[in-house]
Chain A
Amino acid sequence: MKIHIKNGRLIDPATQTDKPLDLFIGAGRIVGIGCAPAGFEVNSVLDASGCVVCPGLVDLSARLREPGFEYRATLESEMAAAAAGGVTRLACPPDTDPVLDEPGLVEMLTHRARLPEFAHVHPVGALTTQLEGKALTEMAELAEAGCVAFGQANRAVVDTQVLLRAMMYAATFDFPVWLQAQDPFLARKGVAHDGEVAARLGLVGIPVAAETIALATILQLARETGARVHVTRISSAAGVEMIAAARAAGIGVTCDVAIHHLHLCENDVGFFNAHARLDPPLRSTGDRDALRRALVSGAINALCSDHTPVDDDGKQTPFDEAEVGATGLELLLPLTLKWAQEMKLPLVTALARVTSDPARILGVEAGCLKVGAPADICVFDPAADYLVSREALKSQGKNTPFLGYAFPGRVRYTLIDGHLAFDGTLS
């Protein structure tokens, strides 16, 4: 299948390209940029007039809910959401049921995910068995089965000796370790940022110190072990500062932030809106503003959706009993564009945070447009609005604090390995 994407504005953050260029695809790969290769006989032309043509988005955290939580979402529903959101590659955390701590489970997941219209899936293996923080997993075996990194999803390794050894062991193979920084004791029973809103609503707070204390431990151990650490879902200004300082001191640590924490704050809990029950909690406006700036400067390396589909029953409860998380795959692009617009950031810089930068953290050759690369491409209309509604969301999870909002950026086409996985002109 030879495809010609014409009349588009091609943006490739990896090469800082932003100009009108056509793209030519053959046998699942990019075969020409600007001009067709010799003898190119086109089968299909995709019109990208008024659209941006960029690398497919790379999402560092999307829960597909398989195996174990199929009542919340299935691979089919969430892959449709990914394609509709222009996401062509994603990492999934290990907190499935059973958890991703055995090679067989990882192989089954990657095998199930191997359909042409499905985004590339990179499982993050469990760092400890059952995510219990007690015993190491067979990381080498898990890596062979397809794991790109090892982590704990949003569970902590309480025992610092286990954490030290897990990081040492991972460093032996140079496997990246992905950790969320949240002290489980300071976060105990907490459901919201320990600030004015929690005080007013009578919710149990999680102080910023829960993040900074865990972060101090992680950064110290990263220095000790030389492990390649990636901190997931940073939530506070103080946390960002610590990571920047560690990096300045020569520790090779990276981090990401979720779309919700980039746009929302504690006030968005409103009157106990269970959609705003997130982990880590939404923090103060000052924290949010610091996260937004740090993502501009690159102090935060990547933006992710932290996609977590939850069924209605999981949210139709009092706030403190609600399941944590929000659906996000289809919001990653619009919320990237909204942030870029508000920060007056060139698209080429903004898109780097959801394409080439996360690809680098994943350690895969992706998130760029070059001849010979797999044709994972997102074509979107930056001027068209995307209205977030239960009906529009392809994800089985309709749980998002952004329901009813309209954001810039509607995906027109998503190609995965040159396969048209989503065609927005049909809907």
Chain B
Amino acid sequence: MSVMNTGGNPQLNRHGELNHLLTIEGLPRDVLTRILDTAAPFTEVAEREVKKLPLLRGKSVFNLFFENSTRTRTTFEIAAKRLSADVINLNISTSSANKGETLLDTVDNLAAMQADMFVVRHASSGAPYLIAQHLAATDRDHIHVVNAGDGRHAHPTQGLLDMYTIRHYKKDFTQLTVAIIGDVLHSRVARSQIHALNILGVPEIRVIAPKTLLPTGVERLGVRVFNDMREGLRGVDVVMMLRLQNERMQGALLPSTQEFFKSWGLTPEKLALAKPDAIVMHPGPMNRGVEIDSAVADGKQAVILPQVTFGIAVRMAVMAMLGGN
């Protein structure tokens, strides 16, 4: 008889330590800070001739990608390999027409291959919880789960690398005004950023979007809502752009990419309303001319490529903390 998912939070073990990384929500500030601190020395590893540390030697990391992603999967793969882990990539397409094996059957099979860590990307919000709860219920808690993006819910390592980037350029979170701009409704990145910024004590977090791209009750997550981008950008220290997925541009959410760009695309002219030393971030991949103008994306204030570099260090830190020797 299988054990049912009872909906508990399996992220922390009974000593309150991080056993899986499923979401940033509810993480104690010191745990979050420790991840960022751990990541710092890892940025230097990439500059060495031998870019490897033995922290995950002999460990098997399974990249379980139920949703296509080249970029995130690659950065996780690089991070795991730099920690000397054996990395196995699985791209499991799940069309509703072709269900086949259930999610938990897949997990059980891979667990039987002595996996030490699952890095999970899934189109359904909460899928990594189901896996972690299942592992806990079947006494296989020693296998760690890292959420690499689940539906609209969370993308915690992205949120963490964004915090690393902000800290790198701005040092003190408690004096900042941060704006998150674009499709918040469908964005797991935005949710993780909002939680992280709140935990780190950012006094003003703004979201800027048309009403069709904001979740109901978003202000309850601890943000100030702006529909007008010019108003929302005034005096901002950090500008975090979100990706607008192609499929959102059809249908009833937005009339056209042109109109979206006109109102919510980041141009040099709009960016000039933010503080002169404001940094511009984007989780990638960018839609130039949709949410961001090339002049901004390639401009001096953009820190989009450093985000990618820091992303590897942050993912190394998370994996080392969860499963390190």
Contacts and interface: CB of A to CB of B under 8 A. Distances in A.
Secondary structure of the B contact surface, majority rule: loop
B208 to A, nearest CB: 17
Interface in A297-343: 312-313, 315-321
Given A194-B216, A205-B216, A317-B102, A200 B7 contact: no
B299 to A, nearest CB: 31
Nearest to B220: A196
A318 B130 contact: yes
Contacts of B154: 202
B130 A270 contact: no
Contacts of B125: 201-203, 272, 318-320
A274 B3 CA distance: 13
Contacts of A271: 7-10, 126, 129, 133
Nearest to B104: A316
A318 B102 CA distance: 10
A288 interface: no
A274 B154 CA distance: 18
Contacts of B151: 202-203, 318, 320
A403 interface: yes
Given A316-B102, A319-B125, A202 B153 contact: yes
A115 B40 CA distance: 72
Contact of B25 (A194, A196, A200): A200
Given A199-B220, A202-B154, A313 B9 contact: no
B152 interface: yes
Interface string A379-398: 00000000000100000001
Contacts of A390: 1, 4
A275 B5 CA distance: 8
B106 to A, nearest CB: 12
Contact of A195 (B2, B127, B191, B216): B216
A276 B5 CA distance: 11
Nearest to B131: A318
Contact of B129 (A195, A272, A276): A272
Contacts of A317: 102-103, 124, 130
27 contacts: A195-B217, A196-B216, A199-B218, A200-B221, A201-B153, A202-B154, A202-B188, A203-B125, A269-B7, A271-B8, A271-B10, A272-B7, A272-B125, A272-B129, A274-B7, A312-B1, A312-B4, A315-B4, A316-B2, A316-B102, A318-B126, A318-B127, A319-B126, A390-B1, A398-B4, A399-B4, A403-B4
B58 interface: no
B6 A319 contact: no
Contacts of A315: 4-5
Interface of B: 1-2, 4-10, 25, 102-104, 122, 124-127, 129-130, 133-134, 150-154, 188, 191, 215-218, 220-221
Nearest to B11: A271
A319 B6 CA distance: 12
Nearest to A321: B124
A168 to B, nearest CB: 33
Given A272-B125, A316-B104, A318-B124, A198 B8 contact: no
Contacts of A318: 103, 122, 124-127, 130, 151
Contacts of B150: 202
Closest 10 CB pairs between A and B? A273-B7, A202-B152, A272-B126, A318-B124, A202-B153, A270-B7, A199-B215, A202-B125, A318-B127, A196-B217
A205 B125 CA distance: 13
Contacts of A199: 215-218, 220-221
A271 to B, nearest CB: 5
A113 B323 CA distance: 56
Contacts of B103: 317-318
B182 to A, nearest CB: 15
B216 A198 contact: yes
A202 B192 CA distance: 11
A201 B122 CA distance: 14
Interface in A185-207: 194-196, 198-205, 207
A48 to B, nearest CB: 36
Contact of A319 (B4, B124, B217, B218): B124
A312 B1 CA distance: 9
Interface string A204-219: 1101000000000000
B248 to A, nearest CB: 14
A316 B216 contact: no
A275 B221 contact: no
Given A274-B130, A318-B103, A390-B4, 9 more contacts: A194-B216, A199-B215, A199-B218, A203-B151, A269-B7, A273-B5, A318-B127, A319-B126, A403-B6
Contacts of A403: 4, 6
Nearest to A203: B125
Interface in A117-147: none
A205 B215 contact: yes
A330 B221 CA distance: 38
A401 to B, nearest CB: 8
Contacts of B188: 202
Contact of B124 (A205, A320, A398): A320
Nearest to B130: A318
Interface string A2-18: 00000000000000000
A196 B133 CA distance: 23
Contacts of B152: 202-204
A311 B152 CA distance: 27
Given A202-B125, A316-B104, A207 B7 contact: no
Interface in A222-249: none
Contacts of A269: 7
A199 B191 CA distance: 9
A312 B216 contact: no
A316 B150 CA distance: 16
A202 B191 contact: yes
A274 B6 CA distance: 8
Contact of A276 (B7, B104, B134): B7
A200 B216 contact: no
Interface in A67-82: none
Contacts of B122: 318
A203 B124 CA distance: 9
B221 A316 contact: no
A317 B4 CA distance: 10
Q: Of A196, A316, A318, which is in contact with the most chain B CB atoms at under 10 Å from its CB?
A: A318
Contacts of B133: 271
Contact of A316 (B10, B129, B130, B191): B130
